[in-house]
Amino acid sequence: MTCALFGGSFDPPHVGHEEVVSRALETLHVAKIFVVPTYLNPFKDSFGVPAALRLEWLRKLFEKKAKVEVLDYEVRQKRAVVAIETVRYLLKKYDIEKIYLIIGADNYKKLPLWNSYDELKLLVEFVIATRDGIILPKELKKIKINANISSSELREHINLSFIPKSIKKEVLAYYTRKTMEKRIENIVKILDEKKAENIQSFDMSERDYFVDGVVIATTLGERHGLALLDHLKGELKSKGESFLNIDESDEWVILDMGDILVHLMSPEYRSRYNIEEFLSTYKSPEN
């Protein structure tokens, strides 16, 4: 059979990736397109979304396209896998006469740097997904793509208009949770630097609690909680955080940020009310 291989980080998958697959099906006349998410891009040292989750999103995205198969080969290796290794795997596993290797226009100039490039160019025909502003040799086979989207920019500023409808809910939930984690990490860091003790955080986002996250810390004395509050207000406001309500006392300070609640408690009050046990065992009302 004639097939196409479309690999990448898909971190996250976006409408540009979806368009590449649709155009490839229209123009390449292949029996199958293999979409192969990396575990780790060979040219990078980290990823944003965990590989298993990217694989899950891609399977849902392409589940209704009969000629598209999302392969977990590279994800299963749990390491960076170079293109030639995946091509060899496909040739060994399937009865393949021809492979088109689809790459983005921004990767074309890097091709000679790819592992075993001389062997790779004998085994596949490169197909370039075009991108605005990048000039390519006329003799290359190309797929004209209208979407000019960067996954790296999406990771920094998630824009749901660029996320395919079929996976929008899952992608939004992930990045909302990821943003929440970063905000809580920042709160914990500030409290730790200012000598708060026994700092604990709780993710309540899936438990139908009235906030998504809770941070609890023990203060060192009567005035320490108020001093911690002043540091939090100063540090967090500069990062764009806002506060709906603040309850202050020497023994217990509560900072309400709308979706995050911070409790700064004296040792006596923390022991008496044991909020962490309540939060750890809290279940949604319907449960």
What is residue 160's predicted lDDT score, i.e. its pLDDT?
A: 83
Domain-terminating residue out of 137, 163, 189? 163
CA dihedral 98, 104, 108, 110 (to 10 degrees): -110
For the chain, the distance separating the N- and C-terminal CA atoms, rounded to the nearest angstrom, is 52
Other C-beta atoms lying within 10 Å of the C-beta of residue 44 = 12
Domain-terminating residue out of 163, 185, 211? 163
Other C-beta atoms lying within 10 Å of the C-beta of residue 203 = 15
218 and 88 in one domain?
no
Q: For residue 254, give every residue at least 6 positions away whose Cβ sits within 8 Å of its Cβ, in sequence order, or none.
A: 245, 246, 247, 261, 262, 263, 264
**Token pair of 160 as six digits:** 């749901």
pLDDT-wise least confident of 6-10, 81-85, 172-176, 231-235: 172-176
What is residue 151's predicted lDDT score, i.e. its pLDDT?
A: 72
168 found inside a domain: no
219 and 111 in one domain?
no
280 vs 282: CA distance, rounded Å: 6
What is residue 240's predicted lDDT score, i.e. its pLDDT?
A: 87
287 found inside a domain: no
- The answer to whether residue 284 scores a pLDDT higher than 90 is no
Q: 21-58: per-residue pLDDT in tens?
A: 999 999 999 999 999 999 998 877 778 899 999 999 99
152 and 185 in one domain?
no
Q: What is the pTM of this model?
A: 0.78
227 vs 221: CA distance, rounded Å: 10
What is residue 285's predicted lDDT score, i.e. its pLDDT?
A: 65
204 and 112 in one domain?
no
Q: 263-276: per-residue pLDDT in tens?
A: 999 999 999 999 99
Q: How many domains is the chain built from?
A: 2
Pick from 1, 59, 58, 4: nearest CA to 27: 4
User: Phi and psi (nearest 5°) for 236?
Assistant: -75, -35
**Domain range enclosing 87:** 2-163
- The answer to whether residue 287 scores a pLDDT higher than 60 is no
